[in-house]
Structure formats: C-alpha cells, structure tokens
Structure 1
Amino acid sequence: MTRWPLHLRLALAMGLVMAGLALALLAVVHAGNGRAAQETAQRMNLGLAAYIGQHLPAPLLDDQGQVQQPVVNLLASHVMAINPAVEVYLLGPDGQVRAHALGVPTTDDPLGRRVDVQAVAALLAVGGQAAALPVLGDDPRRPGQRVPVSVAPLPAPGEGYLYVVLQGQAQRSVAAQVAPSLAGRELAAAFALVAVCAALVAYVLLHALTRPLRRLATQVQDIRTDGTPGQEAPNEVAMLEAAVAALTRRVDAQFQQLQQADQRRRDLVSGLSHDLRTPLAALRGQLESLLIEDPATGTPDRTARLHTALRQSERLRRLIDQLFELARLDDPQVQPRCEAFCLAELLQDVVQGLQPVARARGVALALAAESHGPAPVWADLGLVERLLQNLLDNALRCTPPGGQVTLGLQADGARQRVSVTDTGGGIAPDDLPRIFERHWRGSGPQAGSAGLGLAIVRRILDLHGSHVAVRSQPGVGTCIEFDLPTRA
C-alpha cells in the first residue's frame, strides 16, 4: 500500500468534501435563481393577459360563443412579433383549452386539454400582492409542469379566461441550448476552484499542525525493538498505533520477565537459606560437642569431629564465595578483560590443580589425548579458569568413585570447543533444560544444592558471547560443551 502522509490524506479529503459542498451550493443557487426568474417574469408581466384582452381588435368569441379563429391568428402574429417567449391560450370556464395563439402548427397541439382553474382563481385573487408571487399554473403544452402565467377573465362573464404562459416553448428551447454550456462552465470552475483552494489551504495548515505528530511517530517507531515483522504503515496514526501495540507487548513481556526474576530471587534466597543453614547447624553441633567434652578425657572421635566441622566450614565458605561472585558477575558494568592466551595450557593447569580433589574422591581426572596442541583464544583468562574449575568440580561431585572425568579440546573452525565429560549418574531429560538456573534444585545427585556453580558458568559464557550445550544419558554420564573465539 502506498504510504501517503496524514496531512496529505486529510487535505485531499477536505478538498473532496469542499467540492461536494460546492456542488450542493451550486444546485441550491440554481434552484433559487430559477425561482427568482419565475417571480421576476410573473411580476413584470402580471397584467399582460389583461392588457392583451383590452387591446384586441375584435372579440375572441362571436355572439354564439364560438372562437373567431381569424382574430386568434392575428393575435398570434402580434404576440410572436413582440415577445416570442410567451404563449397565449383561450380557456373555457372549466379550464379547457379552446384556442391558442402559437402561430404555427405543433406536434403537441394543446387544444382540448384542461388547465387547473384553481391556480387561475388563485392568481386572480393574488393580484399585485408581492409576498404571494410566484403563483404557477399548468403548462398546456407540457401536462404536469408548472410555469409562471398571467391570467385575465374575458369581458363577458362565464366566457372563460385569457391565459398567457410567460416562459413558453421558445424560451425553454433557447435556455436548453445555453444552460448546459453555462452550467458546465460554472460547475467545472466552482469544483476546480473550491477543491484546489481547499486542498492547498488544508495541506499548508495540516502540514504545520501534524508536524509534532510526525516527529512523535518517528521517535516511537525508532524505539520499537520487539522484532515483530510488519507492513509499512500508511500514515502517522497507523504507525503510532502499531508502535504503541508493539511497545505494549514489549512492556508486558518485560513485566512478566520481572515477575519471573523476582520469583527466581525468592527461590534463590529460600534455597540459599536452606543450604547455608545445613553446614552452620553441623558446624555448631560439632563445636558444641567439643566444648562439652573434657579435653583430658576426650573421646577418640574428637579429631573426626574437628574434621567434620572443618569440612562444613569449607562448604559454607564456598557457598558464600559463589554467592558473592555471582552477584559481582550480574553487575551490568562488569565486562570481561579479554586477552590472548593458550587454552591448552590453561586446561593442563586446571587439571593438575584438581588432581588432589579427584584422587580424594576416587575419580580419574585426565586431559584428552588430542587436547595438547596450541589453541590460542581471545577471552578473560581469570573468568575462563573459574568456569573450568566449576565445571570440573561439578563433574567430580557427580561422578561416583571409580568413575572418570575427561577434559577435551578441539578446533571448530574459527572457535575452540571445550568439553567436560563424566561417567556419573547423568541428568534426567526433564531436568536438563534447567541445570544452569541459579534457583533450580535438581532431583539427581545434586539435589539439595543451590546450583550456583553452573549458574556462574552460564553467566561467564554470556559475558563472552558463547553458548553452552549439554548432552546427558541417565546411568551413563554427561557431557557439557562450550566454545571460545580463536585468536590468530
């Protein structure tokens, strides 16, 4: 659809409305002019019938009441010579046309037709009263048509009337030839003048009045970032409507996201409260037992209790560190400090650093054979190291004694792909999409954990613009993969 500005559409609409009003006004003016012409003709010639009757050379009827046709013919020649526009008729008392002074034979000879005598009586009663004119009578040559007339009774009472049509066939014929060209020129001129003037004035005014609306529509369209495809709006109002609808959807989606984030925050606080309470309770119980016992007569498991308290305190420290680290990574101002480094060397360092933990758990931790080649990447060294430590720690905790955790590295085009594979219990298919959610508490080996380690992994990868993929089979194991950009 062609996009026309709103002010142009309104200007064209106003021009068409004004042209229609001009046509209606022209029709009213023509009707008024016709009525005025009828009144003028009748007022100027109101006494014409009486004048003709008074100046006849001989009576129109003989002593037997018959029409004297020679006198009528003489009257026709005089009338047509003086004023061809009028038509003179001789009416009987009942309004029947007994004779006429049309001069020439016609195909629509009105002899024998009747004229409404009530209009004749009304005109005779009006006389010269200006307010009552025009009084129209029947046109003998056009039955059903009303025209201005002049009427006078014949000298002898009951003989009839002299009936003069003031706008006869000759005048109507000339008017019919002139009117179309005149009316056409007037109509065309009025239509063009009014339409063009109205459109120009409306365009100028509306262009100035709708300027703020156009600016607002452009600004709203610029901030419409919901990504929904749409056709080009035909005008500013439609553009605003589409943009407001898109913004409404965007606000609703953001509000739902805020609600979901708030719910996740409450779940996270609830989960952390539970996770922090467990090691605190264990640590407190062990310390209270040690305080109650007499050091001189202590039980043999005193050292075991101290080790238990130490492990719980370490667990508590790790949870608190993860909580603060996740809060720091969630800060919008935190950006990765990228640099070039060898990813293969970092993998070897991380594996060597976690070997004591792996041996203590009875799990074999190794770097895949094909992962020793050069693999330069562009990333934040500290964050990537933290990411690998979290993934390996999670894999070691989920792998039973006698299992194996393998760290692999493979070039994938312009990126380096890292994989962490374990032989643990795996993840249920329903839980797989949610393992990186910070509030999620799984149903597998990690049930009861707040899941902050994997949440930190997801946040670090988001900061690097990388994606994580997870493949898992219950009872077989899990493989978590991510990639980083290669640095030439």
Structure 2
Amino acid sequence: MESLRYAHAPAPHDAQVSVGIKQLQSMLDAQPWGTVALAPDGRVVAASARAVAMLGTPIPVGTALEHVFGFCLRDGAEPYTALEQGREVEIDGTWCWLKLTRVEHDERDANCVAASVAIVDITPLHRALDERIASLRFLSHDLRSPLNSIVALTQLQEIDAATFAQCGGMKQIGELARYALSLGENFLFSSVVGNLQRRDFSRFDLRATLRELVPQLEVAAVYRGVSLRLWLPDERPVWINGLRPFVARALQNLVDNAIQASAAGSTVAISFKQVDAEVEIGVKDAAGGLPGLHQKERIEDFDELSQKTSKGFGLGLKLATRIVSLHGGTLHAEINEDGGTTFVMRLPCLARQRLAAQGEGQLDTVRDSVRAFAAGALK
C-alpha cells in the first residue's frame, strides 16, 4: 500500500497528495476524540478540529511535536517515548488523556504518517475516580468507630471480665461486627451497581445456590440455639439470569436477620417453590413480628426501618431490597401464623419451556453430527 504523503503547501498539480490529505482530515474530524497525525520526524501531518479545540491552540501542518505537546513533556524527555506511555493533563478545567500510537510506515519515506496522538476527554472518569476516593475515605472513617470499639472490648475482656460483660460482651462485639459488615456491603453494592451492564448477568441455578448457602449459616444458628430448616420440593434446577453472588448475599441477609431475631429453641424455616415464571423463597421465623408490621399487612419499603432494632431486624434489608429490584423481583415482609415474620422474595426465572427447547436444539445438533460422522461426512 502506498504511504500517505503530506506537504506544507501542496502544489496545484499534485492532486493525489491533496486528495489524500483531505481524506485524512475528514477521517480525523469524524472521530469522537481529538487526533493529531505525525510524520516520522514529529511534524504535524494533520490535526482534527476537535484536537484543536481541546488543546485550545492552532495546530498548523508542519508544526513540531514538541511545540504542540511540550507543555506536558518533562525536560529532556524523548517526545515519542513519553507520549507513547500516555499522559494525563488538565487543560482549562478539562482532564485529557494523551496517547501516542505508532503506525506502520515506509522508513524510506520521510513524508508519511508514522504516528498519531489521541486526545481523549476523561473528565467524567476523573470525576468518578475522585468521588470513589472520597467515598473510600468516608467508609474508612465510618468503619473506624465500630472497629476501634471491637478492639477495645477484646482488650477489656482480657483485663476486666466483669466490665466487659457490663458493656455487652460478645453480643456487643457481634452487633458492632455486623454493623461494620453492612457498611462495607452497601459501599461495594453501590460501587458495582453504577457500572453494571446486562452482559454482566449470567444464568445460574437458584435452587443449588440456596442449598449451598444454608449450611454456611448453620454456625450462626447453632450459636443462637436456633433450628434451621430448608424445604426443597424436588431436585430440578431453577434457572435465574443475574448476579449469583448478589442474590446469595440478599438471601444470606434475610436468613441471618431471622436467626439473630429468634430466641433459643425456636425455628427458622426456609421454603422454596416455583410458580409459573417466578420462584418464591420464604424465610419464616417466630420472633414476634417485624416492628410496624400488623396482622394482614405487609411491609415492602424497609428504608425507614431502624438498622439497630432490639431484635436485629433491619440489618441488610435495604441492601437485599436493592438486589432483588435489580433482578426484576420483589421483596416483602408479612405476619405468619406463628406470630412471627415471613420474608417473601420473588424473582423471575427462565422459562422451562425455553430451556427445554434450547436443550432439544443442542441435542438435535449432536444427533446430526453423529449421523454425519456415521455417513463419513466428518473427517
């Protein structure tokens, strides 16, 4: 392929070069970022209108690379190498990323395009990073209080067991630990959700997820003297499209809340059933009812529910609600026949008919391959 040439002032008869430069200029102007095309010696071949606007200065053809980007180069630095590594600079309040990329060219041709410098507006990304750093600082500050209290209580246990018991003992340490955990969970969830795309979702078996999760909560149940029961009607997979760790965390919060609210000797029952295109999971306790919940009523909004009620309700409920909503489901609490609370989570599941059709289609493909192989069509 013939190299693209440039000239400071193309002669009228050199129509081919003139047309090539115009095509290059048109291509650069069509890009959503600014671009400066360079010759092997660093002279400007062409610069897009957006590059001129973002740099805030004219960029005539033939200008040396150092004159265009000298403001962001260190003294003595080789311009090509420095820009090839990338530079983040602020230009009139706009944060830009400058990145030089070399392109293949004829080394014998001094008048060809040998590299291009992209100028990308990263102000939104820079602002988001600043906000994330600020959020991390706030989280660090918020975590310091419960963690310092936990350290102080553990030290107190060693030197004064009586005072340790008066301060709440291990129960207080557990509440502080759960509070610190909820702060971290909310931060992680908020951080991830802002960047979620549909492609991040994947198919997983909710039934298997629940079956794996419940044994992990047995330790907390045994410690509280609570019986944990799981009712699964059959072994058939129930497929969900979503984020498995998030859904598992929402379920864990619901079950853990029920365990913490229950008295020793009581039972927390977890039910699982599929109704049409939805799967319903119930977490039932006999702890006396969620604060504010009355007979034949339900609670769907947990924002106003205290995070530190005397029975442990509220911890993680807002997070669970957000996760369920993210997956197109619903979550509510209702009074059960034992005078306790049942949390009902409903999530849309993938239709069995569609999955069966997909499976049958894959089976047909396998059958066709076997037949073709038997007929000698495959080699």
TM-score (norm 2): 0.46
Q: If each structure's helix is expressed as a fraction of its own residues, which one has the higher value?
A: 1
Q: If each structure's strand is expressed as a fraction of its own residues, which one has the higher value?
A: 2
Bigger radius of gyration among the two: 1
| Structure possessing the higher relative contact order (Cα contacts under 8 Å, 6 or more residues apart) | 1
TM-score (norm 1): 0.36
